[in-house]
């Protein structure tokens, strides 16, 4: 954790006038799993990862098929997908398929990059290439900011992996862990003008915290899904009370969390229709009553990403980097 550290000044920082944010993005960045494999560095604290008996060639075939089907499925529903095909380097990035951990965007045109806990995941941060891809897709980046310097102090904040945002109410929910430092979290919230940060402890059966908040909870425009039983009781009541003020709260069990029922994301199509992306594993693990509740908030879009989520320890939401950047205006 940080000890009496002051954030460095941001060069060329410009004043941003912030409007009321929309909850859902209608554009996402997805990254091909062309280097995908079991990552022993992340497995240290990611209890969702599993070794596979498949050969690496078989794994590659499976994950490329899963990825392609998900890209095609989202586009067919009217969600814009920026297929970010990065340049290979000497240092492989086995978890690049999970881009939501290293960047985030705002409706004011800001792009933020974040300090990653695992050394080999830091090589995923390719801001210049990402900006080029976003610009080519008609999305403008007006300002770049970074908190990556905190990695030098062993303080990490893995973007929307550890931060689940209620954009409408300018509130961030975050489970504290090695990958989510409280002081960096509060610094980021201050920079983007979010006035409430609700951070809390979690504990799995092993006694270890949940490695990423977005595997245990999701927040949509008017609903939330949360595995609240992993939160200590005195904090649990506060979190649920906060969510309940403006959301329908759908509570899931640890068993359902292990099937990635918390790792879902509400999106909008270009026509403004609501959809909820999730894995087939999550869809199958929700009860009929829970599916009925979720269906009132958008069309359910289950994708089979079994290989990616079992080996990588992350699922559909982790594969989606939301793009809130303004759309470039066409010249007349």
Q: What is the CATH number of the domain that holds 194?
A: 3.75.10.10
Enter the tokens of residue 262. Answer: 């918390």
**In sequence order, what are the residues at sequence separation of 6 or more whose Cβ sits closer than 8 angstroms to the Cβ of residue 90?**
none
Question: 5 in a domain, yes or no?
Answer: no
- Name the phi and psi angles at 303, rounded to 5: -125, 135
Structural domains of the chain, count: 1
- What is the pTM (predicted TM-score) of this model? 0.90
Question: 18 in a domain, yes or no?
Answer: no
CA distance linking residue 166 with residue 113, whole number of Å: 20
Among residues 244, 218, 239, which one has the least CA distance to residue 229? Answer: 239
Q: Which residues of the chain have pLDDT under 70?
A: 1-21, 39-41, 43-45, 47, 49, 329-332
pLDDT digits (tens, 9 = 90+) for 255-295: 999 999 999 999 999 999 999 999 999 999 999 999 999 99
For residue 229, the enclosing domain spans 27-322
Q: Exposure of 205 by Cβ count < 10 A (0-12 exposed, 13-18 middle, 19+ buried)?
A: exposed
- Number of Cα atoms under 13 Å in the Cβ half of residue 192: 32
Question: 9 in a domain, yes or no?
Answer: no
Question: 166 in a domain, yes or no?
Answer: yes
Contact between residue 265 and residue 213 where contact means Cβ atoms under 8 Å apart: no
8-state DSSP, 302 = E
Question: 15 in a domain, yes or no?
Answer: no
Predicted local confidence at residue 313, as pLDDT = 85
């Amino acid at each position: 954790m940080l000890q009496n550290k002051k954030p460095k000044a941001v060069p060329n920082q410009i004043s941003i006038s912030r409007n009321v944010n929309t909850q859902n993005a209608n554009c996402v960045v997805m990254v091909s799993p062309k280097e995908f494999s079991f990552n022993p560095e992340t497995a240290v604290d990611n209890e969702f990862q599993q070794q596979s008996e498949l050969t690496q060639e078989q794994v590659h075939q499976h994950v490329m098929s899963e990825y392609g089907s998900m890209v095609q499925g989202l586009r067919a529903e009217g969600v814009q997908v920026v297929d970010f095909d990065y340049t290979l380097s000497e240092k492989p990035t086995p978890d690049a398929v999970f881009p939501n951990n290293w960047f985030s965007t705002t409706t004011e045109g800001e792009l933020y990059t974040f300090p990653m806990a695992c050394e080999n995941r830091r090589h995923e941060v390719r801001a210049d290439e990402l900006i080029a891809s976003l610009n080519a897709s008609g999305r403008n980046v007006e300002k770049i900011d970074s908190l990556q310097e905190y990695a030098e102090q062993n303080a990490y904040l893995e973007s929307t992996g550890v931060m689940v945002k209620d954009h409408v109410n300018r509130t961030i929910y975050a489970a504290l862990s090695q990958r989510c430092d409280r002081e960096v979290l509060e610094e980021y919230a201050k920079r983007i003008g979010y006035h409430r940060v609700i951070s809390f402890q979690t504990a799995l059966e092993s006694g270890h915290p949940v490695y990423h908040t977005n595997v245990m909870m999701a927040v949509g425009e008017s609903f939330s899904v949360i595995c609240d039983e992993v939160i200590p009781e005195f904090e649990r009541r506060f979190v649920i009370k906060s969510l309940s003020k403006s959301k329908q709260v759908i509570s899931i069990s640890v068993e359902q969390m292990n099937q990635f029922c918390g790792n879902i994301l509400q999106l909008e199509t270009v026509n403004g229709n609501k959809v909820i992306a999730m894995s087939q594993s999550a869809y199958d693990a929700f009860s009929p009553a829970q599916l009925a509740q979720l269906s009132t908030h958008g069309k359910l879009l289950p994708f089979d990403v079994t290989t990616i989520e079992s080996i990588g320890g992350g699922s559909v939401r982790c594969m989606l980097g939301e793009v809130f950047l303004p759309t470039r205006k066409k010249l007349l």
